[in-house]
Structure 1
Amino acid sequence: MMKISILKIDIFKMNVEITQPIRILLGVLDTANNLAIKITTDTGIVGWGEASPCAVITGDSQDTNYVTAQTIARLIKGKNALAIASRMQEINSVTIGDPSVRSAFDMALYDIAAKAANMPLYQFLGGEQRELRTDLTIGIKGTVEETVAQAKSIIEAGFNAIKLKVGRPGLDDVPHVRAVRELIGPNMALKMDSNQGWDYPTAVANINAMEELNLQYAEQPIAVWDYEGLARLRKKVNLPICADESVFDHRDALKLAKMGAVDYLNIKLGKSGGIYIGLKINAIAEAAGMKCMIGCFAESRLGLSAAAHLAMARPNISFIDLDSCYHFKNDPVIGGVSFDEKIGGLLHLPDAIGHGAAFNESDLEQDSKVTI
């Protein structure tokens, strides 16, 4: 077996301001406090990864990722970077937490493996070029007018899909969703995500009240732990249900599939711990007749590049929600996925080998650099 040994690992903190903060029920995102991982091999091949922790969902933070990254780096240094299954089993055995930083090592290893094979990552994963077009998210706004104003700017930017953050008390979300539907017309893709914001009766009431608004799906309408409630809701309402916070890994996917609890699964690399588990989630979904979406936290274009390659390689990943860096104040990434300048939301993946993205090291926090 070909062997490429891990020579050293550099760990950096990375902080980027967001020009248009996004409010969801769980809090406000106004800065991306991420971590960059650079793995250098004995052949000179370098792989890059990114962690984008979201403590209220993933239970980790930039600081916990920073410490865990050093433990993982010591564990895998000197070992074969191409033996991804073995490396990820070791990495996943370090902790059941910190999925974001486990994902960063995962995408760096896949970057190395695809480069060693002289292939773009999507091709290394068995895929081919296909169109990927992301939606753009509207956070929870104070007034219907503010929601409509942002929807209007999204239409003017040429996007063909909008995701609305919901989860307000009672039926307060209904006028926001109705106003956006009236603005965009009957056919443009519109979906909503309550980030666990409703209880079961409120979810039923809201979804029934919006039945005529032609929504694609309701994402994580109720609490993360309430699998039975999701299954009951799915049978009660006439709208597909998508699990997000309820599905971290392939074991969660299997439970949801066996229960018939949801229609779709949202894969986020920062939840699943990376591509290795993301592939397993999609395989379970596909076997159960469920489509997947690919989502994000606050990744830069580097993390989004890895996610886009996974989506490109698996046609069962049908819904694309890779918009996190759209409002970054600065772009620290060289190469990688880009947004089309004319067609809103259309993603372009270059045919560079690996995932095609690297960080400009001068944009990373130099004082935080640790080399293992």
Structure 2
Amino acid sequence: MKIHSLDVYIIDLPTIRPHHLAMHTIVTQTIVIACIKSEDGIEGWGEVATIGGASYSEESPEAIKLNIENYVKPLIIGENPVNFDALSYKINRYVKGNYFAKALVESAMVDLVAKTLNIPAYELFGGQCHESLPVAWTLASGDTAKDIEEAQNCLAAKRHNIFKLKIGKGNPKTNVAHVIKIKEAVGDAGSVRVDVNQAWDEVTSLYCIEALQNGGVDLIEQPLVRWDNEGMSRLTSRFKVPIMADESLGTVQEAYQISKLRAGNVFALKVPKAGGLTATKKVAAIAEASGIPMYGGTMIESSLGTAICAQLYSTIPELTFGTELFGPLLFKDNITVNQIEYENFEMKIPSGPGFGMEMDREKVKHYSRDI
């Protein structure tokens, strides 16, 4: 089997409501998808999602597409995708950085190989440890009463019992008070967590984290700017509430440094940031070796990208803090025929060949900038 072609598309999907982060508010989510076709005509599909163009990562959707087409594609055409790990190593030798682009290409190769073998992709990564995974939901109205009502409805429907609030934008003390009121209303029925998206300095973090810890919040995500590992280490050692590394954690090398410095005592795994599925599994191994619990993060992918992450996360024995793979629930529409199933506070891991998702070509065409 050899790779015959590689095509990349930029897709814009509208959301059901604004999704607020410190650096951007999402009303239309941009994803990049790739289709790798073998000489036998079998297709493998991959996806990565971005946030706000280049506001979250250095890689914009346009750069991902251009760099794959100009620099990555020539390295893999005519090669055997069964050797996807060796091909990823080859790409790393000739293309610096570009981790989202590398993750996109690798995921499409993995899907192709698994479909050719007629197995789920998770069998290529050690096999499945979980048939379903807990999923957090982000409360994002900004109105305390509305967020409490939404959380209670999610609990009653057994859809989510983990709730996350983005609090990096606006007045920190006001945001903290908002979160604590929600936690008081939810009580022991659900876990309440916050994501600061790098928006606080260390002085602000000292006050806010103490208040959140006293208010019963279960997890603080990336309070400081991504490069401040020393500051993150000080916060981690000071507070009992876990502090999670997200934006600061991407590559295997970054995982090693964070574990060594304890610049966060929870790891947020994200396939694009690590540079692919194989690299993410290595990051997870560093966490396991360091005694650091893990969380299956999201870049707010569509059902395809969610399935890619979920299949990889399902091979990790312990995801102590669950996952955040709610992406498909945020979109008005999707690009696959079948959908991710959510029930009993968890998502079911797709189990068909490849990543288990069938592409809806009409939807791809409708939402693509390129067709």
State TM-score, norm by structure 1. 0.91
2:47 is the alignment partner of 1:50: yes
CA contact (8 A) 2:337 2:358 kept: yes
Q: Which residue of 2 aligns with 1:256?
A: 258
Residues 133-148 of structure 1: pairs in structure 2 closer than 5 A: 133-139=134-140, 141=142, 143-148=143-148
Deviations 1:72-103 (A, max 9, x none): 22221111101112211233345444432222
The counterpart of 1:186, out of the listed 183, 188, 198, is 188
Match of 2:65 in 1: 66
Distance 1:26 1:151 in 2: 24
User: Per the alignment, do residues 250 and 202 of structure 1 end up closer, same or farther by CA in structure 2, a change over 3 Å counting?
Assistant: same
Distance 1:140 1:234, change over 3 A: farther
Aligned CA RMSD, in angstroms, stands at 2.0
Q: Does 1:323 align with 2:322?
A: no
**Deviation at residue 269 of structure 1 after TM alignment:** 1.4
Deviations 1:251-306 (A, max 9, x none): 00000011122211111112112201101100111110111111111310100001
Give the gaps of 5 or more residues in structure 1.
none
Q: Could you say if the C-alpha distance between residues 136 and 312 of structure 1 is closer, same or farther in structure 2, counting changes exceeding 3 Å?
A: same
Which stretches in structure 2 are left out of the alignment for 5+ residues?
Answer: none
Partner of 1:309: 311
Q: 1:5 and 2:2 equivalent?
A: yes
SS at match of 1:330: coil
2:290 aligns to what?
288
Code of the residue aligned with 2:151 in structure 1: it is: A
Give the distance between the partners of 2:153 and 2:93, measured in 1 at CA.
45
- The alpha-carbon deviation at position 349 of structure 1 amounts to 2.3
Whether the aligned pair in 2 keeps the contact of 1:13 and 1:36 (CA below 8 Å) is: yes
Partner of 2:163: 162
In the TM superposition, what is the alpha-carbon distance from 1:121 to its structure 2 partner? 1.6
- The letter of the residue matching 1:135 is A
Cα pair 2:161 2:189 within 8 Å, conserved: no
Find the aligned partners of 2:93 and 2:301 in 1 and give their Cα distance. 24
Q: CA deviation at 1:336?
A: 5.8
1:146 Cα shift?
A: 4.1
* Partner residue in 1 for 2:340: 337
Q: Which amino acid aligns with 1:356?
A: G
Number of residues paired by the alignment? 363
Structure 2 distance, partners of 1:10, 1:181, is 46
For 1:1-372, list aligned pairs within 5 A: 4-54=1-51, 55-71=54-70, 72-128=72-128, 129-139=130-140, 141=142, 143-158=143-158, 159-167=160-168, 168-318=170-320, 319-335=322-338, 337-340=340-343, 343=344, 345-365=345-365, 368-369=369-370
* Deviation (angstroms), 1:140: 6.7
Which whole-Å deviations, capped at 9, do the CAs of 1:53-82 have from their partners, x for residues lacking one? 232221122211221121222221111101
Instruction: Pick closer, same or farther for the CA change 1:51–1:131 going to 2, 3 Å.
Output: closer
Q: CA deviation at 1:368?
A: 4.9
Distance across 2 between alignment mates of 1:355 and 1:336: 12
Task: Flag the structure with higher strand content.
Answer: 1
**Separation of aligned partners in 2, 1:336 and 1:108:** 19
- Aligned to 1:35, the other structure's residue is in SS state strand
